[in-house]
Structure 1
Amino acid sequence: MYSKPHLSFEKQLDLLASRGLLYDDRVFCVTALKRIGYYRLSAYSYPFRLLLPPEQRETETNFRSEKFKQGVKFETVIQLADFDSKLRRLIFEAIEEIEIVLCTRVAYIAGRVAPFMHEKPASLDAERCRSKVTQNGKEITRWKAWKNKFKTLKAQARNEDYYKHFEQKYDGKMPIWVAIEFIDFGGMARLFKIMPTKVQSDVAKLFNVRSGATFSKWLVALNYLRNKVAHHNRLWNRKMTYSLQVPNVNEVTSELEHLRSRDSDLNSTYDYIAVVAYLMSSISPQSHWNHEVCSLMESFPVSPHVSPENDMGFPPGWRLLNLWS
């Protein structure tokens, strides 16, 4: 049974101090506990704790002791949490722009081919529509998974004026350039997966990606990233659940070529940020989002225990890469 007592914010700081966490400004640190929360901050203090010997680990994820490494200050932990918050906001801003451009391009290109493509499997890719996915523990076709998602999204939009207009005048039948208004990023990724190859490729090329298949897999990963950011989850040192598809030779320009030589799967924070920066430069070259990333990285806490290279997957000398220049 869980038996740890409820503690005031002041006593929470005292507990951390008893475990070896130093601080300079008590008022500042208590205020941070009130603002961010003890348990949320524990995710940012975790890398600064001592490693436990294997025989002392109580669970498979319990790698560290409650004791802190020598010389660690609570102000550094707070700085790391604030850095992560700024990173989430920066990424959310970029994904918002990518999502809007994606929906606009899909509506235009797919609408030109078949205005009601999203409701007619005959207008989509037959093989991918028949392929299977698992939903709520059951194996169903991608077409059925999309139909279920579309039905849910449509129901959520039923109080919108444009929805009522189409319901009353056109029996609820909406062309894709209207339906796109209530299709979220996850729904778009699901629909894009079963679209005809030519439609996929035509959309992907507008993002400077020459493969619709690769771009389709990136959309799934970016939707995952969007959800993490939207729910304020820790991002800075996260290993992502979805690995980004490694682009083949000539599928992208030289700015992303360095991802092809990575030693591991493309699931680090850096890998995702790099792809977002690449897509942003393709659709909004005037935004200088890549330079904003560089500026933000200058605020990363200076500490011997954490670094962008070791914890976020940033490659050595990353600032010299064309993507960030």
Structure 2
Amino acid sequence: MYNKGHKDVDGLIKIFKDRGMLIGDVEKAKRTLSHINYYKIKEFAEPFFRNETYTNISFEDVIARFYLDKRLRVHLLHSIEDIELSFKTKFAYVLGKRYGAFGYLDFKNWCNKKEFCRHYINDKEREMKKYIKRLINRDGNMIIKKFFLENQDCEYPPIWMLIEILSFGEVLKFYELMSNKNKEEIADYYNAQPNELESWLKALKYIRNLSAHNTNVIDSKILTKASIKNEWKNFLYIHPKNNKPTDRIAVPIIIIIYMLKRINPNYKIWKLKEVFKNLFKDSDYTANKYGFASKNLSIFERKFEI
């Protein structure tokens, strides 16, 4: 049974000290603990906690990690948003070009009939139509509202309008249902195979959700396995025991860099350089912990090509 009682900031400071954490400025640490939850700080100190003791870490170091993670999450959300917008636009373009404004409503037009049976496709079509109706009723998108005011005979919006109210995850689910021909046209734009693109987007969706919910991303494992191109392996840590690529933050970073080079070559990816420079602390060993092959920061340079 849980029986821990309330502790004030002095009590929390004592816990950290008793467990070996160095605290340079106690008063400043108290102020920090009054605004950042103890368990959030503990989360960022976890990699340095072994055998009930903190080793080689100070309270100030932990807070620095917290703010580096916060900066990184802001960059991740911004860059993944650009990728999401591009992917959704390509998805709508392919369906609109091949099947017209409302062809998406007939799933047998564009779904993979070799992989999915007729009943499954029909079920997904019914689910989507119900979902779109709910979205239309609750969404405040002015373009959609204007469309229905001007086209009162229409039950659903055209695909190029619908895409504006569908989430990244929803469009990704529809991409999974697509025929190989449709998938390939979208994936070709990103110089990827359909299975590669799908795995990358799932990894980005996963890290985007962590970032949006104030979760520690620098220490997170990427639970959705992403396909790794051979040329990426020069920049990623490869486990010597099993020869498998890392599952750490380096993976979504390299995906973002690769995709943004095709979407927006002028994207300021170099802004991430300072975050990782501070995380690596000029150490290959530390860089490996985050999934990078070394402390080399060349992938964040403006002129880097991959």
On whether the aligned pair clears a TM of 0.5, the verdict is: yes
Q: Give me the TM-score of the superposition, normalised by structure 1.
A: 0.79
Instruction: Name the structure 2 match of 1:106.
Output: 91
Instruction: Name the structure 2 match of 1:233.
Output: 215
The 1-side partners of 2:88 and 2:248 are apart by 26
SS in 1 for 2:255: helix
Contact 1:281/1:288 (<8 A) preserved: no
The 1-side partners of 2:159 and 2:296 are apart by 41
Instruction: Name the structure 1 match of 2:170.
Output: 187
Q: 1:199-218 residue pairs with structure 2 within 5 A?
A: 199-209=182-192, 211-218=193-200
Query: Does 260-269 or 293-302 show the bigger shift?
Result: 260-269
What's the CA shift for 1:92?
0.6
Instruction: Name the structure 2 match of 1:46.
Output: 46
Instruction: Name the structure 2 match of 1:122.
Output: 108
Residue 201 of structure 1 aligns with an amino acid whose one-letter code is E
Query: Does 231-240 or 115-124 show the bigger shift?
Result: 115-124
Residues 319, 189 of structure 1: alpha-carbon distance in 2 compared, 3 angstrom cutoff: same
Contact 2:288/2:294 (<8 A) preserved: yes
Residues 316, 298 of structure 1: alpha-carbon distance in 2 compared, 3 angstrom cutoff: closer
SS in 1 for 2:278: coil
The 2-side partners of 1:89 and 1:257 are apart by 26
Residues 130, 307 of structure 1: alpha-carbon distance in 2 compared, 3 angstrom cutoff: farther
Q: Deviations over 1:57-98 (max 9, x none)?
A: xxxxxxxx2x222x5311011111111111111111100111
Aligned mate of 2:153, from 170, 175, 178? 170
Contact 2:287/2:295 (<8 A) preserved: no
Runs of 4 or more, structure 1, over 6 Å off, are: none
What's the CA shift for 1:149?
5.7
SS in 2 for 1:236: coil
What's the CA shift for 1:151?
3.5
The 2-side partners of 1:47 and 1:261 are apart by 18
Contact 1:236/1:269 (<8 A) preserved: yes
Instruction: Name the structure 2 match of 1:78.
Output: 63
- Runs of 5+ unmatched residues, structure 2: none
What's the CA shift for 1:214?
1.7
Contact 2:91/2:186 (<8 A) preserved: yes
Q: Does 1:90 align with 2:75?
A: yes
The 1-side partners of 2:292 and 2:209 are apart by 22
The 2-side partners of 1:25 and 1:177 are apart by 56
What's the CA shift for 1:200?
1.7
Q: Give me the TM-score of the superposition, normalised by structure 2.
A: 0.84
The 2-side partners of 1:81 and 1:183 are apart by 32
* Structure 1 vs Structure 2 CA RMSD: 2.9
Aligned mate of 1:284, from 257, 261, 264? 264
